[in-house]
Amino acid sequence: MRTRLASTLIRLVLPVALFALAACAPAPIYKTSGAAAVATPAQVAQTPEHFSGNEVVWGGRIVHVSNFADHSEIELLGYPLDSSQRPRANDSGGGRFIAVLHGYIEPLNYPSGALMTVDGKLNGTRAGKVGEADYMFPLVDVTQSHVWTPEEMSKGRSNFRFGVGVGVGIR
């Protein structure tokens, strides 16, 4: 009888607990079409002709902002995105890319080191340099962008940890 009660209780509580944990994670900020490329900036830089015109949702750490007469460019070090499209800056970088935004942007709103996610279309590559090294930067014509605040980066991440092990206590 006790085993049956425990089994029934687990069947009822487990789905509720899993649903509650899933509800903590924020939803993705951009809806993508089925044609969105899942390649990294480094992969696109190697074979840009395979990805030209594809939609991408990429994120990374802002390296530099440049303003020109009719557009602005943000160089980013790309990182993989989590399920909420936040850059996972603790992962290894996936190459650099340039986000091209129409019009003027205030560099103070896009500070170096901040994390950012962009949605847009790939529009070729441009040769440049990272330090003294030659580099090929994929260009993304941005339709939407978001600079993440520290609060947004931590939202939906639980401080709860679960583990199995042996502990020793002193009385």
Q: Which two tokens stand for residue 133?
A: 């090294």
Reported CATH class of domain 41-154: mainly beta
Instruction: Supply the pTM of this predicted model.
Output: 0.74
Q: Find the mean pLDDT for residues 17-45.
A: 66
* Residue given tokens 């969105």 in the structure block: 36
Residue 65 pLDDT grade (very low, low, confident, very high; cuts 50, 70, 90): very high
CA gap 153, 10 in Å, rounded: 33
Q: Are 25 and 85 in contact (CB under 8 A)?
A: no
Pairing, β 71-79 against β 115-130: unpaired
Q: Which two tokens stand for residue 21?
A: 């944990």
Tell me: the pLDDT tens digits for 89-108?
988 888 999 999 999 999 99
Q: Which two tokens stand for residue 11?
A: 């069947």
Q: Find the mean pLDDT for residues 2-6.
A: 57
Residue 160: its pLDDT value, please?
43
Higher-confidence residue of 161 and 37: namely 37
Q: Find the mean pLDDT for residues 59-71.
A: 97
Tell me: the pLDDT tens digits for 113-171?
999 999 999 999 999 999 999 999 999 999 999 999 999 998 865 444 445 556 555 54
